Chain A
Amino acid sequence: MKKTGFTRGCLAAWLVAALLLVSALPAMALDKVSLQLQWVHQAQFAGFYVAQDQGLYRQAGLEVEIRPGGPDINPLHNLASLGCDFATGWLSEAMVLRAKEVPLVNLAQLIQRSALVLVTFNNSGINKIEDLNNHRVGLWRNQFSVPTHALFARNKIRAKEIAQRTSMAPFLSRAVDAAMAMLYNEYHSLYQAGVDLDQIKIFSFADMGLNFPEDGLYALEDTWNERRDVCRRFVAASLEGWRRAFAQKDQALVSVMKRVNEAHLASNRPHQRWMLHSMKEIYTHRVGLDKMGHLSPDDLKQVNLVLLEQGFIPSPVEAEGFAVQAWQKK
């Protein structure tokens, strides 16, 4: 049955009025901000969900809209085109964009240790990284391939590069001999597809001198300059959300699975538990729970080096004005 525009309008008006009444009660206007995630809802973003579900953002005077990502969404591009206030993204990609004069600032570096690996089957004959020569290697596109290309260049590997999408099917069907995987996601998906972990071998980029710290929180310089307090409150509340997520994983998983289920995503609870577990390791790597968000100058230096080496950037990205460390209390 179709309602007339008039009745719908009345209904909407009433709803708005009711919402206004409710929200007016705290007597404090909430700052509305939006966060664009890199990927679909999963435990990779558990801390943000917890901050929202447990009212941390609200307590910080924020009303945060969390937008899930997907294969067709690039959060940092989105940021640049003013599509959102905050976005998560890889450090390397952000630096490339900054080198291209996109005025991004790194508010906080979330992942300290790269979870990126190359995975091969034990029986594929690839025992060391040089063995990838002449083998088919599935590579993610764009900036995701930067560490791999750096790896290949450093080791003079000529691999048959196959454009890889999100699915691990080419690897599972042995259409490719090696594939990129995140330890917290694809690696475990293989396990859930019946591959025993002792059947496969991983080559960790972090262990191979290519620790590209991945997820970080980004905003445009303007946002940072004009709404610095909002930025700080957002970062602080988000990191607090992460601390809670790590402390109470089961509760965090409820927040994760709620979003997974609502989005009808093909995932399951044990996979998200694994991911959350992995997140704690790579978030707190070196910095612990207290200094989460810290962008290490060494990491920055190393990524600069590789990006320069690979020709992604003409000159190094300076920490000054980029790594604003918004997580630190002023």
Chain B
Amino acid sequence: MAKEVKNDSLKPRWLRLRARFVIFVLSGVALVSAAMAVVSHMEASSALLDASQAYLLSLAEAQANQLARRLDSVAGPARDLATSLELVGVKNESFATALLKQNLIANPHIYGMALALAPYSLSPSQRYAAVYAFRSPKGLKVMDLNNPRYDYLSQNWYLIPALLGRPVWSEPYFDEGAGNVLMTTYSAPMVDKGKMLGVVTADVDLGDLGKLVRSLSLHEGGYGFLLTRQGTFLAAPDPNLVMRASIFSVAEEMQRPELRALGRHMVRGAAGLREIIDPLNQQKAWLAYAPVKGVGWSFGVVAPSEAVLAPVTDLTTHQLFFAVVGLAILGLVVLLMVVGLTRPVKLLTHGAKRLSGGDLACRVEGIRPGDEVGELANTFNTMASDLSAHVEELKRKKQELEDSLHRIELLENIEQTLGKFVPASVKARIEEAPEAPDLKKREQDVSVLFLDVAGYTKMSEQVNGEDMNFLIERYFSSFLDDIYVNHGDINETAGDGLMIIFQEDDPVVHAVNAVTCALAVRHKVAAVNRELEGRFQPVTINIGVNSGTAQVGSSRFEGLAGTRWTFTASGPVTNTAARIGALATQGEIYLGPETAKRVEDRFELKAIGPQTLKNVAQPVEVFAVQGPKAA
């Protein structure tokens, strides 16, 4: 019997196969998707960030350079004019005016130009000598700047280049004369042999700076801005900042020292790129900045980090969306698959339960063949039918076994009963080789004893059949044991007699046995006679014994009713024994000569004399047994 598997010690699973399968597959796929999304997000972010940074920086540099060129195209004519006037000198104001007008016509970028001379240049009585030509809606206009209250000599556009002896860009300013337009002025000093002659200026209208900055192609939420040397906003997304606030004032307002440090870095003419917290909206942003060479301004470009990475975010969002949709579809597919897998399993489980419940006719149906589960179902069904066949076979075998046992019991009974009637020598032979007992006749030295119930015929007429049987059994049973004890084989039972064969290796022994048996039988009969005295007539047993060589074995008689086997000893010895027995009367025990010769030492014998016997040619010496010899 197979060992029973103990599953009680295992913790039961808390999820059914379907849920487990779906969860495992989906979470696996989700993990892989997530990992891929993270990797692609990081890669894309980094790549995009690099590209955006490069773009921002190049944009800032390009804008700064473009602005520098534009400012230089304004500065150039003023510088050239100053240089040439250093050589030529200024004779009078009308000469100056003509030069200024000429330059303005040639240089449409320039809003206005001034020529201001050092004090008392034209005459010792004239402290101021300055002319300003500028564009107005009605064409070029000229005015002198000689008002003492204005005192151009103390104005920065004159004062600073004059003091420094080199050209200077002014801090931008709102020019009220030109309608509050944002302007900046380039001032180039005229110096001859260390002597300050005067200043040539050129104004540039910066009114379009805001538009320029706003037109930049930037990320959403991005913007450009422009700082002066002092960090003041020249252009900014918030118009309130322009010319009113500096990056330093913003840093101060927001208490952000790092912003101030950044501003100082910028106005010192550095270029760079860094991530900042945008002061306008407190969001992370990338800032690229580059100097506007010549004028010393700084051009900044800001792009919100979020916007820079927006395509990546979009990509990730799309990936996420498709991942979710894909997972949903996959989930459905897996679910369907698992249902397809578990439905047969359920059917099989159900079938197995029925089978274990004893329903051997149970078969699993509705499972498509062709795959493993189909094979399993097929195997199950085969198993079930095999099982039922085996059980049927087992039942049959069991019946057969029972039948056999019954027969064996019968046979044992028969053997016990019949054993008494089967000669011991036959039994021995059969037991030697039960399948093919050697029952063939052979020559053997035996003693044959014939026992005859005297008056049996008369007696059977006097008592009824039932009593007759009782008597025979009673008598015969009484001496059957004596026959066994003396190793005699009952060979033949006729209605009133027995033929008993004694055979031993020693011819004396079986002869002695036969005689001993005969005496015992006579003794027993006498005892039974006494027992039954009064109820039945006493019985007389006459016995004849003879010894010699006889044909011992089975004889087969073929008849209409079948074959009948007898085991006997045939030959003259037997015949003689029967005739000698027939001679005996009054319960005598007669012995043939050969027997007598063999037992004479053991028993008292009395010679009866030669007797002529039927079918025996010669007369035979017969002896009667008196009893055992006294020792």
Contact present for B244 and A176 (CB under 8 Å): no
Answer yes or no: B475 CB below 8 A from chain A CBs. no
Stretch at the interface among A7-15, A61-69, A144-152, A165-173: A165-173
Partner of B164, one of A163, A175, A267, A271: A175
Decide: A162 near B163, CB < 8 A? Known: A193-B232, A267-B244: yes
Answer yes or no: A194 CB below 8 A from chain B CBs. yes
Give the docked Cα–Cα distance between A270 and B260 (Å): 14
Give the docked Cα–Cα distance between A194 and B232 (Å): 9
Q: Which residue of A lies closest to B227 (CB)?
A: A194
Q: Which residue of A lies closest to B252 (CB)?
A: A270
Answer yes or no: A156 CB below 8 A from chain B CBs. no
Which B residues are CB-close (under 8 A) to A194? 230-231, 246-248, 260, 263-264, 267
Contact present for B231 and A193 (CB under 8 Å): yes
Contact present for A268 and B154 (CB under 8 Å): no
Which B residues are CB-close (under 8 A) to A167? 156, 171
Decide: A268 near B244, CB < 8 A? Known: A167-B171, A192-B231: yes
Expressed in whole angstroms, the minimum distance between the Cβ of A237 and any Cβ of chain B is: 31
Which A residues are CB-close (under 8 A) to B247? 194
Give the docked Cα–Cα distance between A173 and B295 (Å): 12
| A-side interface size class | 20 to 34
Q: Considering the complex, which residues of chain A in the window 166-217 have a beta carbon less than 8 Å from any beta carbon of chain B?
A: 167, 169-170, 172-176, 191-194, 196
Q: Which residue of B lies closest to A169 (CB)?
A: B156
Decide: A163 near B252, CB < 8 A? Known: A173-B160, A175-B160, A194-B246: no
Give the docked Cα–Cα distance between A246 and B20 (Å): 73
Q: Which residue of A lies closest to B157 (CB)?
A: A169
Which B residues are CB-close (under 8 A) to A176? 163
Answer yes or no: A100 CB below 8 A from chain B CBs. no
Partner of B156, one of A170, A193, A267: A170
Answer yes or no: A22 CB below 8 A from chain B CBs. no
Answer yes or no: B253 CB below 8 A from chain A CBs. yes
Give the docked Cα–Cα distance between A129 and B244 (Å): 33
Of A173, A176, A269, which is in contact with the most chain B CB atoms at under 10 Å from its CB? A173
Answer yes or no: B249 CB below 8 A from chain A CBs. yes
Contact present for B156 and A165 (CB under 8 Å): yes
Decide: A165 near B155, CB < 8 A? Known: A193-B231, A193-B232, A194-B231: yes
Which B residues are CB-close (under 8 A) to A269? 249, 253
Which B residues are CB-close (under 8 A) to A270? 249, 252-253
Contact present for B153 and A163 (CB under 8 Å): yes
Decide: A193 near B230, CB < 8 A? Known: A173-B160, A266-B243: yes
Decide: A170 near B245, CB < 8 A? Known: A163-B151, A165-B154: no
Answer yes or no: B149 CB below 8 A from chain A CBs. yes
Decide: A170 near B160, CB < 8 A? Known: A72-B149, A193-B230: yes
Answer yes or no: B308 CB below 8 A from chain A CBs. no
Expressed in whole angstroms, the minimum distance between the Cβ of A78 and any Cβ of chain B is: 16
Partner of A172, one of B230, B260, B264: B230
Closest 8 CB pairs of A and B: A193-B230, A175-B163, A163-B154, A270-B252, A270-B253, A268-B245, A175-B160, A194-B231
Write the residues of chain B forming the contact surface with A, with a CB cutoff of 8 angstroms: 149, 151, 153-156, 159-160, 163-164, 168, 170-171, 174, 229-232, 243-249, 252-253, 260, 263-264, 267
Given contacts A175-B163, A266-B243, 13 further A-B contacts (CB under 8 A): A163-B151, A165-B156, A167-B171, A169-B156, A169-B170, A172-B229, A175-B160, A191-B252, A193-B248, A267-B244, A268-B246, A270-B252, A271-B249
User: Mind listing 14 A-B residue pairs with CB under 8 Å?
Assistant: A162-B163, A163-B153, A170-B156, A170-B160, A170-B163, A175-B159, A175-B164, A193-B230, A194-B230, A266-B244, A268-B244, A268-B249, A270-B249, A270-B252
